[in-house]
Structure 1
């Protein structure tokens, strides 16, 4: 009776977990469908991440319950499992033949092979370390006694003892996977190779100098676009402490406190309006959010800039070379917060009206500017005109957060409605926000940048890695190949090494 009761309890718990998993799975699917319908936004992405984590935890718990039930020889209610995917065909296969008897276990007779059954298991072999010896043999001529020897090979970094693949691994792990150097050093030590953090730091610094021409070329390409997305995110930076020396001079030393620096991104992506030029994301660092820094890295750019309502851009717009295009996602977010937290009817209605505009934009994404303008004239303009009238009607006499959200739109109405006049303009600045998402994730791991120089170095590395991602290129493989080729590469042909030109059989093999 006790065993039967225990079996029934485990089965009931299993049934409950199956239902919980299905509920969470449906919630996740609903959230994904809503995101596809209403467009990308930060609050929906955060919600989906929470649902995914919840779903993972429930599935792990259900698997543990099943394993415990099998160990106890109690039959729990089986849960439905997704169909298994085939293991990747491009991976090499290693045959491990299980030992077979040499004679028939029944009569001792000779055995003849009838066939075989193969069970495949996906496995990952830890990284292999090796020392590459570059041997330069010396030869002498017995006739003239001249000595001949091949020239020394180029090193990816000056006087460096690290190969291109190792350097790319360290740089990509730090800036692409957000693993601080001390964690990488500890991981290498567990694999039997001890590399000091200071040595890894020297490598990263040297790599940033070696790759500077590529960073500058990507920044120039981004600035040459007819339209760019610009945004920034805060970055904690270790603040210096001035200490008086005996000779009354001042030396800067870290005191453990941090200040707030900024990482800016300028994204060029012409694909939404059918452009053929490759996308690029250039990053810049500034010690604060003063407008002069934005003016500095935007020097030389002329065209349409999609950004938030940062007051530091004011002088750039006044000069006339840069045209402001406002972000509807920012305007929508102010209403969305009120709709979600306060359940305000006006905010809910505003969100619905703006979402209708995003729905139209998804249908015309990738069309030419002319085709987009035609569609917007017939579909979007009536909605925008109705929204303007509605906002003025609801705004009258109000002094609240709703009024502030309305003013955000109404005071910048020409910038918000520029997409109706120019088919190259997007409805939102989400391209720049997506480019900064990795930095927001990285902040949780590396906590702060060590200095302003470290912030500038991070901006350079993010420029390389994120641009490679935008062009569908494996950043680690690309960096390894570029570091190996760059020392002997002509400076006039630096464009051949940019991510969108990284083609060919040898590059595919490297990837």
Structure 2
């Protein structure tokens, strides 16, 4: 009787545990479904923000995108931690369903190291010894080899002549910096870590120390300064190449600069040559310049002696370039439709105002017509624009003028429309020159890395530091525009 009672108690306890496990599994599955839905939603938002180049302003949109990506990272990490595949119980882990979620194969060009596990010597089922190979299962795991340092000894042997007793020796090879204590690969890594990965020199020094290499911040700073001087001729060539273009994109962004115990705001200007939208074959390039402030005298100085088309926002500092009598000739200014669209897009997105929504719809139709001819020769672009875009632009401006006449000038929609109406020549110039782009996105994209770097390095250190940053960004961003690894 006692045995039966014990068995009943054990059965009841087992049923209770089973129900609890089932409840936990149901809750876990519900959490997983909820997390999966949130992850899918966030991925959709992030993809839409990345594709919508003409939405919110670049820096505000970048901050929002960073926040969404951080939230997505946290959700995916939590989901992976809670999945059955990572359960502490090995039995639960072994029965977990496999979830590859679109896992991509590892790059085929990576070297493979084949590690074959010892084969069984007898059948685990019957103990037979006659085994023949049927096939194999391969699991590929990505691994990293820690970076290694080495010292290269460049030996220059000396020889003496037995006839005249003169001494001869091969000339020293070229070194990027004097005495060649740092090799080109090491210097390229330091520069890219500082200006591309935004890792300050003091943190790089700490990282070297953890790997057993004693390189203090002062030494690294000396190398960065020496590299800036060595690479100056390349920057000069980039400047010549950029200013040889007949059309440039121009923009600027803030950069914090430390000055006498306080931080003030400097500017980094960029001038982008990109002929690909109208079928040009010249390689793209970007030339950066630094200044202490945002006075209009700086773009005048940067573009002294140059004439052509400048695509930019409506910053008044570029107006001096367009004045009659400028030598060698006035610069032609072209507007950025993406800047104009943003004000209307914000109102349409936030307030759901029908007039703003209609304005965005009309502008988007112009963008859609432009996408079809992107990358084609300028004469073809001009012909298509005259046929399809010109009527839409004319109707848009007439509709905006009529709309603004029926509302207060202080209305946010009227103010957003006035961005176009005050500058009709700038915004219609693309209809008369096939080289002109609809937007200034090329310059904004070139500044994107600097906006990210401000969070890491905080300030440039001095005006000279700003000038060095401009020189390095000219090289790094130009390399990336041409799909070249800056470290190569």
Indicate the TM-score class for this superposition, using the shorter chain for normalisation: 0.7 to 0.9
1:361 CA displacement: 1.1
From 79, 89, 96, the counterpart of 2:115? 96
Cα separation, partners in 2 of 1:35 and 1:394, compared to 1, 3 Å? farther
Q: How does 1:253-268 map to 2 (within 5 A)?
A: 255=261, 257-268=262-273
What SS does the corresponding residue of 2:47 show, helix, strand or coil? Answer: helix
Distance 1:388 1:407 in 2: 10
The residue number in structure 2 matching 1:190 is: 210
Q: How does 1:324-363 map to 2 (within 5 A)?
A: 324-363=333-372
1:447 CA displacement: 0.7
Distance 1:69 1:117 in 2: 22
Deviates more, 1:25-34 or 1:366-375: 25-34
Q: TM-score, normalised by structure 1?
A: 0.84
- Rg larger in structure: 2
Cα separation, partners in 2 of 1:31 and 1:122, compared to 1, 3 Å? closer
8 Å Cα contact 1:279/1:467 also seen in 2: yes
Cα separation, partners in 2 of 1:108 and 1:29, compared to 1, 3 Å? closer
The residue number in structure 1 matching 2:431 is: 420
8 Å Cα contact 1:11/1:77 also seen in 2: no
Q: TM-score, normalised by structure 2?
A: 0.87
What SS does the corresponding residue of 2:400 show, helix, strand or coil? Answer: helix
Deviates more, 1:304-313 or 1:102-111: 102-111
Deviates more, 1:318-327 or 1:281-290: 318-327
8 Å Cα contact 1:226/1:302 also seen in 2: yes
8 Å Cα contact 2:345/2:356 also seen in 1: yes
Deviates more, 1:35-44 or 1:369-378: 35-44
Per-residue CA distance 1:444-474 (angstroms, 9 max, x = gap): 1001110000000000000000000111111
Per-residue CA distance 1:10-54 (angstroms, 9 max, x = gap): 433333333432453255346635764775763666555544433
From 457, 460, 470, the counterpart of 1:459? 470
Cα separation, partners in 2 of 1:196 and 1:87, compared to 1, 3 Å? same
The residue number in structure 1 matching 2:231 is: 211
Deviates more, 1:62-71 or 1:120-129: 62-71
CA RMSD of aligned residues (A): 2.7
Cα separation, partners in 2 of 1:139 and 1:25, compared to 1, 3 Å? same
1:8 CA displacement: 2.6
Distance 2:248 2:309 in 1: 6
Distance 2:226 2:385 in 1: 50
Distance 1:5 1:172 in 2: 54
Q: How does 1:274-289 map to 2 (within 5 A)?
A: 274-289=279-294
8 Å Cα contact 1:39/1:358 also seen in 2: no
The residue number in structure 2 matching 1:13 is: 28
1:139 CA displacement: 2.6
Distance 2:464 2:114 in 1: 51
Distance 2:213 2:86 in 1: 42
Question: What runs of 5+ residues in structure 1 fail to find an aligned partner?
Answer: 241-254, 478-511
Distance 1:35 1:299 in 2: 36
Distance 2:131 2:209 in 1: 50
Question: Number of paired residues?
Answer: 462
The residue number in structure 1 matching 2:157 is: 137
